[in-house]
Structure 1
Amino acid sequence: MKKRLTIPFLLLLTLLVSACGNNAETVSQNEGGNKSETFTYEAENGSVEVPKDPKRIIALSNGPNVMSLDGKLVGIDEWSSANPLFKEKVKGVEVVSEDDLEKIMELEPDLIIAGSEMKNIKKLSQIAPTVAFTWGKLDYLSQQVEIGKLLNKEAEATAWVEDFKKRAATAGEKIRTKIGKDATVSVIESGNKEFYVFGNNYARGTEVLYQAMGLKMPEKVKETALKSGIHTISAELLPEFAGDYMILSKYADGDNSFLETEVWKNIPAVKNGHVFEINAKASTYSDPITLEHLLSFYEKSFLKE
């Protein structure tokens, strides 16, 4: 009796094992199918499997770079959202922070871009593939190419970089010819009770002026702001940091009473009409959208008849 049951039982067991094997193969094939639509991106926070064509990106960092490549954003940080240059790009995009984990989950992202300093990167990685960048680790052009790699648009990003460098260099030559090769330019921003002077890599168009165009900064600025990127001064010190030309990064809704002071009015660049004002809220990034805007503004400002 027992022997007669053994053969059917073994046959059934063999069929079950075979079926399990077939299922495992199907899963493997499915996984392989998914992998054909993803690739491994070597990020600062490790190797991350990311989609080749992300459809729902949350950019807690580097949002403007993503916008410039027409990335499909569903979430953005508040500073990028409030920037007037990106008004059209952020329509319908939710404002989120790294702490809005529930809201981020609800947005169902397939890619999250974060700052390496953010404390919730591990939690974000549990929601979707998360890639972290350290601000300033890459120069402004390399950062754009890197975002291009992440979004599978490296060729597009690289082409823009090469074209921008050529156009900016040409503009720089024209400007130096007009204002003099030794003429200096300083970039200053008004705060509540203090002022900031900038080096060559702290947005406000400094990358365009100093790196791409090759214009000169005053020695005092070079000594104090070139290495750190930014230097804080009082109103009384403005004349010491003013160049032959000044870019004034100004908040329209800020305290701009300094414009009526004798200290300001007696600066040579002010007397000579060599002060060009930019919107501080629209100048705090170094992405292609901002860079193109400022390149055009500087060309018109310096080369106006």
Structure 2
Amino acid sequence: MKKWILPFMLLSLLLISACSSTSSTEKENDTKKEESETFTYESETGPVEVPKDPQRVVMLSGFTGNVIELDVNLVGVDVWSKTNPTFEKELKDVAEVSEDNLEQIIELEPDLIIALSTVKNIDKLNEIAPTVTYTWGKLDYLEQHIEIGKLLGKEEEAKAWVDDFQKRVTEAGDEIKAKIGEDATVSVIEAYDKNLYVYGDNWARGTEILYQGMKLKMPEKVKEMALKDGYYALSTEVIPDYAGDYVILSKYAEADTSFQETETYKNIPAVKNGRVYEMEGNGASFSDPVTLEKHLAFFKESFLAE
């Protein structure tokens, strides 16, 4: 063997070994980096590896206001969120998306998708980005915010908002009860399309604030018919049976409000005494922090302005 061949072979082996070692180290570093940028979130459906600091979130649920309040970037939201006037400013440049249009979601390059448990195409959504689903109503409105805070790496911020909000609701409730009386009753009625509904204590429209937070009383007939299911459909003729001393009337812009012209409605004591407070129905069906803040301000202004 020629003298120069052996050194050459040794040098080649060293280079190959070095390259292999470098490649292995790079892979290990990449793996460690990826692990450091994600964490395992325990969702309803099992563990999901999600980003610690999500930058491009797509919402296919009614929890958009929770993400807005936690100041996390949204790139796509469902139609109900996009058309909600409460979020008009925050979602001005955010795309409207649907689980039926996967190509559009892919184009947005999300790093996290949040959806309801009833969402379609869940397997395909998981291929696009880590997808976490929630069952509507499984958690109460405040627990839900803290849970979304955990998912987004902002649990402490979520808890801080909840604590502060509960304190402010209690204080406002005490002021309102001092003014209207401890035994005064309040009803939440909504005009939607051609229908009328009365609500219990956990069906948005500010019901959680009024009944759970402020501890205001609901009429016995509302307790009987709406408390269990959350809502109850009404006819114009029976509105007086469900109307409290005070009425929050949620009205959708397109709703049939002809019932307000009837003698049955006009003779309700709350109507005759000017104690019906009309609230915009569009967007009222959410119970996220942004909407809750809006409702709290509305209730304080309505009850305490007299």
- TM-score tier, shorter chain, comes to over 0.9
Deviation at 1:259, TM superposition (A): 1.0
AA partner of residue 89 (structure 2): E
AA partner of residue 245 (structure 1): Y
Deviations 1:236-258 (A, max 9, x none): 11111111110000012322111
Deviations 1:56-108 (A, max 9, x none): 11011111111111110000011111111111100110000111100000000
Aligned to 1:41: 41
Aligned partner of residue 253 in structure 1, secondary structure: coil
Aligned partner of residue 161 in structure 1, secondary structure: helix
Deviation at 1:294, TM superposition (A): 0.8
Aligned to 1:187: 188
Aligned to 1:243: 244
State how far apart, in whole Å, the 2-side matches of 1:226 and 1:14 are. Answer: 77
State how far apart, in whole Å, the 2-side matches of 1:249 and 1:55 are. Answer: 35
Aligned to 1:59: 59
Deviations 1:29-73 (A, max 9, x none): 201112111111111122111111111110111111111111100
RMSD across aligned C-alpha pairs, in angstroms?
2.1
AA partner of residue 278 (structure 1): M
- The reply on whether 1:157 has 2:174 as its aligned counterpart is no
Aligned to 2:25: 25
Determine if contact 2:149/2:158 at 8 Å carries over to the other structure.
yes
Which deviates the most, 224-233 or 17-26?
A: 17-26
Aligned partner of residue 98 in structure 1, secondary structure: coil
Determine if contact 2:64/2:288 at 8 Å carries over to the other structure.
no
Counterparts of 1:192-271 in structure 2 under 5 Å?
Answer: 192-271=193-272
Identity over the aligned pairs, expressed in percent?
58
Aligned to 1:111: 112
Using the size of structure 2 for normalisation, the TM-score is: 0.93
Deviation at 1:264, TM superposition (A): 0.8
Aligned partner of residue 99 in structure 1, secondary structure: coil
State how far apart, in whole Å, the 1-side matches of 2:222 and 2:71 are. Answer: 36
State how far apart, in whole Å, the 2-side matches of 1:249 and 1:26 are. Answer: 59
Aligned to 2:281: 280
State how far apart, in whole Å, the 1-side matches of 2:81 and 2:195 are. Answer: 24
In structure 1, stretches of 5+ residues that fail to align are none
Aligned to 1:140: 141
Deviation at 1:10, TM superposition (A): 11
Aligned partner of residue 152 in structure 1, secondary structure: coil
State how far apart, in whole Å, the 2-side matches of 1:226 and 1:268 are. Answer: 23
State how far apart, in whole Å, the 2-side matches of 1:231 and 1:153 are. Answer: 37
AA partner of residue 190 (structure 2): E
AA partner of residue 145 (structure 2): Q
AA partner of residue 301 (structure 1): S
State how far apart, in whole Å, the 2-side matches of 1:208 and 1:303 are. Answer: 15
AA partner of residue 113 (structure 2): I
Determine if contact 2:204/2:284 at 8 Å carries over to the other structure.
yes
Which deviates the most, 246-255 or 179-188?
A: 246-255
Determine if contact 1:194/1:235 at 8 Å carries over to the other structure.
no
Aligned to 1:300: 301
Using the size of structure 1 for normalisation, the TM-score is: 0.93
State how far apart, in whole Å, the 2-side matches of 1:189 and 1:110 are. Answer: 38
In structure 2, stretches of 5+ residues that fail to align are none
State how far apart, in whole Å, the 1-side matches of 2:33 and 2:193 are. Answer: 56
Determine if contact 1:205/1:286 at 8 Å carries over to the other structure.
yes
Counterparts of 1:96-107 in structure 2 under 5 Å?
Answer: 96-107=97-108
AA partner of residue 146 (structure 1): E
State how far apart, in whole Å, the 1-side matches of 2:235 and 2:75 are. Answer: 41
State how far apart, in whole Å, the 1-side matches of 2:91 and 2:218 are. Answer: 35
Determine if contact 1:112/1:128 at 8 Å carries over to the other structure.
yes
